[in-house]
Amino acid sequence: MSEASAAAKLILFGEHAVVFGRPAIAIPLPNLRAHARVQPHPAGQPGQIEIVSEDLHTRLWLHEADMDDPLAAIVQLTLDNLAFRPDKALLVSVQSSIPVAAGLGSGASVSVAIARAIAATAGFELPPQDASSLAFEVERIHHGSPSGIDNTVIAYEQPVYFIRDHVLETFELRGVLNLVLADTGERVKTAQAVAGVHARYDANPSEYNKLFDQIGAITAEAHQVLMSGNYDGLGALMSRNQVLLGSIGVSSARLDALSKAAMKAGAQGAKLSGAGLGGYMMAMVEKGNSEVDP
């Protein structure tokens, strides 16, 4: 039996603008994870693979599955990548406590956990770059042009300063970041939010390029602040990023209300995280001030 897991993630700065070539910063959330296990199947024919996840409401046999299904896709891609043809029937089971379509990287995390567990079954340890590339292929099925930040931060499990198609820059957090996450309860697919931004960009590229440049400048500044270990000013940068996310049309009334509530309760800054239109609001707070009244 082989087991593996992968972390959730949080985008601190630069979501959406990162799709258009600007930098973004993301960190792993190591305590929130997806787990995958591969074990001999008690019933299947040799070589057949069943994939089961109660959390994701999935139960399917790989040889019957549509490759649009993200779980089937990551299993097949990993088998092909490793040229691994199991001679026994296998059961791949997945458990994840990461909320789906909430901007926490559930899809990429599940993909990386499965790819790692299958590789372990084949006797390999999957390097982060390979886990990242495999998860990226699955992301592409559902959202035509993902930047690659989710699969990257999750596969490397380190903070990243990420620019699409550039050499990856990882860094260490030099101080403790106290973040409060609040769930809007709204769930919107990343593909939908990204398609909306694309449509508005196509209608007004010069205006959107200016907005993306401003987000990129905030992200670059935030990177310097994070590298310095003295986080003064980081909250203000988050709130400025949030205003610009509102301008590109990916905030929501609930995200705005939660950000306002956090600021009223003394947060240093607040913004949405991930694709937006719902999902989680993230607020930066001082230690000991992490309780926000609803």
Residues binding ligand PMV (CB under 6 A): 11, 15-16, 18-19, 103, 105, 146-147, 149-150, 190, 194, 274-275
- Residue 204 — φ and ψ, nearest 5°? -150, 65
Give the span between the Cα atoms of 184 and 258, in whole angstroms.
8
> In the 8-state DSSP scheme, what is residue 172?
-
Question: Judged by CB, which is closer to ligand PMV: 132, or 190?
Answer: 190
Closer CB to ligand PMV, residue 82 or residue 110? Answer: 110
Maximum CA extent, the chain: 60
Active site residue 150: yes
Residue (70 or 274) nearer to ligand PMV, CB = 274
Cβ burial, residue 261 (10 Å; 0-12/13-18/19+)? middle
- The alpha carbon of residue 4 and the mean position of all alpha carbons in its chain are separated, in whole angstroms, by 18
CB of 105 to ligand PMV, least distance (A): 6
Quote the crossing angle between the two packed helices 128-142 and 70-82, to the nearest 10°. Answer: 140
CB of 141 to ligand PMV, least distance (A): 13
- Nearer residue to ligand PMV within complex by CB, 114 or 272: 272
Give me the least distance between CB of 106 and ligand PMV, in Å please. 8
Among residues 150, 232, 256, 293, the one annotated as catalytic is: 150
Length of the chain: 294
Report in angstroms how near the CB of residue 189 gets to ligand PMV at its nearest.
8
Tell me which residues are annotated as active site.
150
